[in-house]
Structure 1
Amino acid sequence: MKAAKQTPLLMCYGKTPYTPGSYLERALRNIGTPVDTVEKEVDFAKIDLGKYKAILFVESPARPPVVVANRNLVKIPVIHWIHHGENRLDTNLELVAAYRPDLLLMSHSLHLAPLFSTSVEFFPFGADPHIFRSDIPLPDRTIDIAFAGSHTSIYAERDANLRSMETSLSQRNCSFRKRPYLEKLSELYGNSKIVFNQTADHIKTFNMRIFEGMGCGALVLTDDTPEQSRLFQDGKHYIIFHSTEDLLEKARYYLDHLDEAAKIAAAGHKHVLKAHTYEHRARQLLELF
Structure 2
Amino acid sequence: MEQKKLLMCYGKTSFTPGRYLEDAFRNIGVKVDVFTSFIDFSQIALDEYIAVLFIESPSLPPVRVKQINLVNIPKIFFINHGENRLTTNIQLAHYYQADLVLMAHSLHLAKHFPVPAEFFPFAMAKDIFNNPALLQNRPVDITSIGTLDPALYKNRIQAIEKIKEKFHADYRLSFHKRVFLHDLAKAYGESKLVINHAADNIKSLNLRIFEGIGCGSLLLTDEVPKLDTLLEDGKHLVLFDSDQDLLEKIEYYLTHVDEAQIIATAGYQHLLKHHTYEHRAKALLNRIEKGL
TM-score range, shorter chain: over 0.9
How far is 1:136 from its partner? Answer: 2.2
Q: How far apart in 1 are the matches of 2:233 and 2:279?
A: 22
Q: What's the counterpart of residue 179 of structure 2?
A: 180
Residue 128 of structure 1: which of 125, 130, 133 is its match?
Answer: 125
After superposing on structure 2, the runs of 4+ consecutive aligned residues of structure 1 that deviate more than 4 Å are none
Aligned sequence identity (%): 50
Q: Is the 8 A contact 2:222 2:240 kept in 1?
A: yes
Q: How far apart in 2 are the matches of 1:7 and 1:245?
A: 52
Q: What's the counterpart of residue 20 of structure 1?
A: 17
Q: How far apart in 2 are the matches of 1:246 and 1:14?
A: 40
**Letter of the structure 1 residue corresponding to residue 5 of structure 2:** P
How far is 1:114 from its partner? Answer: 0.7
Q: Is the 8 A contact 2:218 2:263 kept in 1?
A: yes
Q: What's the counterpart of residue 207 of structure 2?
A: 208
Residues 18-76 of structure 1 show CA distances to partners (whole Å, capped at 9, x for unaligned) of: 01000000010011000000000111112111111100000010110011121111100
Unaligned runs of 5+ in 2: none
**Letter of the structure 1 residue corresponding to residue 275 of structure 2:** H
1:154 matched to 2:145? The reply is: no
Q: How far apart in 2 are the matches of 1:40 and 1:183?
A: 26
**Letter of the structure 2 residue corresponding to residue 229 of structure 1:** D
Q: How far apart in 2 are the matches of 1:128 and 1:107?
A: 15
**Letter of the structure 1 residue corresponding to residue 156 of structure 2:** R
Report the aligned-residue RMSD: 0.9
Q: How far apart in 1 are the matches of 2:132 and 2:231?
A: 23
Residues 83-141 of structure 1 show CA distances to partners (whole Å, capped at 9, x for unaligned) of: 00001001101101101111110000000001111011110001111111224211111
Q: How far apart in 1 are the matches of 2:133 and 2:39?
A: 45
Q: How far apart in 2 are the matches of 1:54 and 1:133?
A: 30
Q: How far apart in 1 are the matches of 2:246 and 2:2?
A: 51
Q: Is the 8 A contact 2:12 2:18 kept in 1?
A: yes
Q: How far apart in 2 are the matches of 1:148 and 1:62?
A: 19
Q: What's the counterpart of residue 103 of structure 2?
A: 106
- What SS does the corresponding residue of 1:154 show, helix, strand or coil? coil
Q: How far apart in 2 are the matches of 1:265 and 1:127?
A: 14
How far is 1:177 from its partner? Answer: 2.4
Q: Is the 8 A contact 2:204 2:224 kept in 1?
A: yes
1:10 matched to 2:15? The reply is: no
Q: Is the 8 A contact 2:132 2:268 kept in 1?
A: no
Q: Is the 8 A contact 2:147 2:177 kept in 1?
A: no
Higher mean alpha-carbon deviation, 72-81 vs 126-135, is at 126-135
Q: What's the counterpart of residue 80 of structure 1?
A: 77
**Letter of the structure 1 residue corresponding to residue 123 of structure 2:** G
Q: What's the counterpart of residue 194 of structure 1?
A: 193
Q: Is the 8 A contact 2:75 2:100 kept in 1?
A: yes
**Letter of the structure 1 residue corresponding to residue 249 of structure 2:** K
Unaligned runs of 5+ in 1: none
Report the TM-score when normalising by structure 1: 0.97
